[in-house]
Structure 1
Amino acid sequence: MNRPVRTTLVVQLQAGETDRFPVLAHLGYDAADPFALTVVFAHDGRVLARWTLDREMVGEALLRPVGVGDVRMRPESRGLWEEVRLEFLGDTRPDGRRHRAVVYVWAAPVAAFLRETYAVVRPGEEEVRLDDFLAQVMAEG
């Protein structure tokens, strides 16, 4: 049985145009869903948001801009630090614009986390259990 991979990182949530505030990001990977990473953002013991991300997309974001729609990521440099910028778009607000959050995370810990997930399920060796998936879809109706 494959073990889940978990880590917690301090990331920076951008507020406004320049201010950043530290929040926790709890990252998780489970071979039962081999294409997905989960991330839970929390601050002061409160969950701010939960997202499921494509593992391959996160890996690509270390190298180049990726994503369309609700999730967009890209590498950024800040002096000596290599970061990944994650932009999340949420529900539509009353003024017609969408809720938006931008988070910055150091690239090195993300790369280390991905290496741990690759030790559990190597890229390209993910299995799709179609019967399990169809049973879940049918159960949800």
Structure 2
Amino acid sequence: MSTVIEQAVEARLVASAPRMETVPATLRYDREDPYAVSMAFPPPATLEGVEVSWAFARELLAEGVEGPAGVGDVRVRPYGYDRTVVEFHASEGVAVLHIRTSELRHFLERARHLVPPGREHQYLDWDRDLMELLEG
């Protein structure tokens, strides 16, 4: 069984202009980092022209499809019938994305099958993490 889940999603970048630009993104969940998910954007979709990835709590994403969640760099909230807003806050500004809620729910369900919520601690490798900490 694979320990990593990746899923391409279509995100709509909300800008000050009336139209919304579609940007590709990839959601990723790795059983070796069971509390986190990441969302990566390819170079053409970023201001710097390099791949950018944001990591945040899986729980934040799960809560955000149901109701407003997050107060820091990443915020998630439902929007309309089948959209979820994901906001990324950085010193350069804020990126606001609309993503189909059904795509996020599908991704979260796949992650739940890999690591059930509340059991993340069973998938941590404490010895490896301690070794990495002491070596660094």
2:125 is the counterpart of 1:138: no
CA RMSD in angstroms comes to: 2.0
Distance (whole Å) between structure 2 residues aligned to residue 38 and residue 124 of structure 1: 19
Alignment correspondent of 2:54: 51
Alignment correspondent of 2:75: 72
Deviation at 1:2, TM superposition (A): 4.4
Q: Is the Cα contact below 8 Å between 1:40 and 1:47 reproduced in 2?
A: no
AA of the residue aligned to 2:126: L
Residue of 96, 103, 106 corresponding to 1:102:
96
Higher helix share: 2
Is the alpha carbon distance of 1:17 and 1:135 closer, same or farther for their aligned partners in structure 2, counting shifts above 3 Å? farther
Report the TM-score, using the length of structure 2 for normalisation.
Answer: 0.85
Alignment correspondent of 1:111: 105
Is the alpha carbon distance of 1:48 and 1:129 closer, same or farther for their aligned partners in structure 2, counting shifts above 3 Å? closer
Alignment correspondent of 1:94: none
Deviation at 1:100, TM superposition (A): 1.1
Q: How do residues 79-94 of structure 1 correspond to structure 2 at under 5 angstroms?
A: 81-91=81-91
Q: Identity rate of aligned residues, in percent?
A: 29
Distance (whole Å) between structure 1 residues aligned to residue 83 and residue 43 of structure 2: 20
Higher strand share: 1
Question: Alignment partner of 2:75: what SS?
Answer: strand
Aligned length: 131
Q: How do residues 112-127 of structure 1 correspond to structure 2 at under 5 angstroms?
A: 112-127=106-121
Q: Is the Cα contact below 8 Å between 1:74 and 1:85 reproduced in 2?
A: yes
Residue by residue over 1:35-56, the C-alpha shift from the partner in whole angstroms, topping out at 9 and shown as x without a partner, is 1111102364854521002111
Deviation at 1:130, TM superposition (A): 3.0
Deviation at 1:68, TM superposition (A): 0.9
Alignment correspondent of 2:19: 19
AA of the residue aligned to 1:52: A
Query: Which structure 2 residue ranges, 5 or more long, are not aligned?
Result: none
Residue by residue over 1:50-87, the C-alpha shift from the partner in whole angstroms, topping out at 9 and shown as x without a partner, is 1002111100001110101211111110xxx4111111
